[in-house]
Structure 1
Amino acid sequence: MSSCIFCDIIDRKAEGHIIYEDDLVCCFMDKYPINPGHVLVVPKRHAAEFTDVDPASLQAVILAAQKAAKAIESSFETDGITVMQNNGIFKDVEHYHMHIVPRYKGDGFGWVEPEIDVSSVDLEALEQKIRGAMTK
């Protein structure tokens, strides 16, 4: 494996503002935050994709994310919290991570949904395809 900045932060080989860690996860401040207080929750065991994370680490990630969200909400006067993660070409670090972002009305961050003609989507066919894949 080539160098991973998140593994380096976890191993204290790179600077990171760690706010919480246990045996399975490490939580630290995002170096390029969407809003101040933006935290990353990272499994200590390296996995590039969400689908590669072992079940124990994945459980620890979501529980640490909940803990971080509560801490952010109690530390800042947020209007809400956004919890998100990206996979494939949409992530900027090749180590699975979850973002916990404090949100404020009018902060300019948002989700842009494409305009799709839902009348042309065959939901039944999609359901059958995904259901079949989940039973494998």
Structure 2
Amino acid sequence: MTPPTGAPKTGGDCLFCRIAAGELPAHIVLADDVAVAFLDARPVFKGHVLVIPREHAETLADLPADALGPYFARVQAVSRAMEDGLGAAGSFVAMNNRISQSVPHLHTHVVPRNRKDGLRGFFWPRLKYDNDPEATSYADKIRKTLKATP
């Protein structure tokens, strides 16, 4: 295990901030001023990595806009490394915000994937809209909110 450099700016008791600060052990795969990436302690498949912003942010909405590009560049690099370094055919990249977020620090799962690896779709029930107008109303609500966001 390699301790990361630097320390988080906030998040005192946060498990992931403590990993980023080198206070708790983890199998670090990337550590810089923007992000820290380490193996998930409970991987879906071996090589499953969590990428976290070094600065504490609980959800994607809490990450400052100017940090998005640099953060996702690290996620992209880890995804590419899955294929190049592990010989994976691809990767699954996912994030939870609050619901099912086991640690309240933004983290992106990057999971190595191969054909016929046993992972099938999403693990929750799928719903259907009652009709097209209902779907349109949901789309309208989201669209209006996006237009109102600076």
- TM-fit CA distance, 1:2: 5.8
Q: Please state if 1:60 is matched with 2:60.
A: no
If the length of structure 2 is used for normalisation, what is the TM-score? 0.81
Deviation at 1:46, TM superposition (A): 0.5
Structure 1: gaps spanning 5 or more residues: none
Superposition deviation, residue 89 in structure 1: 2.2
Structure with bigger RCO (C-alpha 8 Å, 6+ apart)? 1
Give 1:109's aligned residue: 119
Give aligned pairs, total. 136
Residue 46, structure 1, aligned to residue 56, structure 2: yes
Q: CA RMSD in A?
A: 1.8
Contact 1:45–1:57 (CA<8 Å) still a contact in 2? Answer: no
Percent of residue pairs identical: 31
> C-alpha separation between the residues in 2 aligned to 1:115 and 1:13?
41
Is the partner of 2:99 in helix, strand or coil? helix
Give the equivalent residue in structure 2 for 1:25.
35
Correspondence for 1:75: 85
8 Å Cα contact 1:25-1:57 kept in structure 2:
no
TM-score (norm 1): 0.89
Instruction: Flag structure 2 segments of 5+ consecutive residues without an equivalent.
Output: 1-10
Partner of 1:127: 139
